[in-house]
């Protein structure tokens, strides 16, 4: 008889762990998606031209068309990442998606630093 109760105890503990893992994962997923949605709104504002200037290292510069295009790319990737996190449980893939997003944001910010101001015909 003790063997059955041990098996039942182990089965219950596993079920509890699964439930706890699912709750913690859902909470983490929700917080991550909320943060990404905030970034998405910032990126789309820059991409649409609703935000006319951006400050980089204390210097305020006008957002150029090329920079707006980069921010549109960042916004699109954020949307893909949100969709991926919403549908997937693969933490490794989520981490890779966030790393790629960070690289895209860094690339967009670097374009701000390296783009000459006041150039272009229109």
Q: Could you read off the pLDDT tens digit of each residue along the chain, which spans 122 residues? A: 456 677 677 777 777 877 777 677 778 888 889 999 999 999 999 999 998 888 888 888 898 999 999 999 999 999 999 988 887 766 677 778 778 888 887 787 777 666 655 444 43
On whether the pTM is more than 0.95, the answer is no
Q: Residue 113: its pLDDT value, please?
A: 67
Distances (CA, A) of 69 to 27, 37, 87, 120: 33, 19, 27, 15
pLDDT at 28: 84
How many domains does the chain contain in total?
1
Any domain includes 76 = yes
Give the whole-angstrom CA distance, residue 33 versus residue 85: 7
Domain that holds residue 90: 32-114
Name the phi and psi angles at 50, rounded to 5.
-70, -35
Q: Is residue 37 part of a domain?
A: yes
In a domain, 38, yes or no: yes
Determine the pLDDT at residue 117.
Answer: 54
Q: Is residue 17 part of a domain?
A: no
In a domain, 97, yes or no: yes
DSSP 118: T
Residue 89, pLDDT score: 63
Contact between residue 74 and residue 43 where contact means Cβ atoms under 8 Å apart: yes
The answer as to whether 48 is a domain residue is yes
Inside any domain, residue 53: yes
Task: Judge whether 13 lies within some domain.
Answer: no
């Amino acid at each position: 008889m003790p063997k059955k109760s041990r098996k039942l105890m182990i089965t219950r503990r596993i079920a509890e762990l699964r439930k706890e893992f699912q709750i913690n994962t859902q909470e983490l997923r929700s917080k991550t998606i909320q943060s990404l949605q905030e970034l998405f709104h910032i990126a789309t504002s820059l991409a649409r031209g609703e935000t006319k200037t951006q400050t980089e290292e204390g210097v305020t510069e006008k957002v150029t068309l090329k920079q707006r295009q980069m921010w549109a790319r960042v916004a699109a990737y954020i949307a893909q990442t949100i969709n991926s996190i919403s549908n997937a449980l693969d933490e490794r893939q989520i981490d890779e998606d966030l790393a790629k997003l960070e690289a895209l944001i860094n690339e967009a910010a670097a374009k701000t630093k390296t783009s000459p101001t006041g150039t272009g015909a229109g």
